[in-house]
Chain A
Amino acid sequence: GEDVEQSLFLSVREGDSSVINCTYTDSSSTYLYWYKQEPGAGLQLLTYIFSNMDMKQDQRLTVLLNKKDKHLSLRIADTQTGDSAIYFCADPHSGNTPLVFGKGTRLSVIA
Chain B
Amino acid sequence: SAVISQKPSRDICQRGTSLTIQCQVDSQVTMMFWYRQQPGQSLTLIATANQGSEATYESGFVIDKFPISRPNLTFSTLTVSNMSPEDSSIYLCSAGGPLPYGYTFGSGTRLTVV
B102: contacting residue among A40, A43, A95, CB under 8 A: A95
| Interface residue count on the B side (C-beta < 8 Å) | 26
Q: Which 8 A-B pairs have the closest CB atoms?
A: A42-B107, A95-B102, A43-B105, A103-B42, A42-B108, A98-B33, A42-B105, A31-B100
Residues of B within 8 A of A41 (CB): 107-108
Query: Are A33 and B43 in touch, CB under 8 angstroms?
Result: no
Instruction: State in angstroms the CA–CA spacing of A60 and B105 once bound together.
Output: 24
A74 to B58: give the CA distance in the assembly, Å.
30
Query: Would you give the 0/1 interface string for B63-91, flagging 1 where the beta carbon is closer than 8 Å to chain A?
Result: 00000000000000000000000000000
A94, A102, A104: the one contacting B99 at CB < 8 Å is: A94
A17 to chain B, nearest CB (A): 24
How many residues in A have their beta carbons less than 8 Å from beta carbons of B?
23
Taking the nearest CB of chain A, how far is it from the CB of B23, in angstroms? Answer: 11
Binary per-residue interface labels of chain A (69-111) against chain B in the complex, 1 for a CB within 8 Å, 0 otherwise: 0000000000000000000101010111111011110000000
CB distance from B106 to the nearest CB of A (A): 6
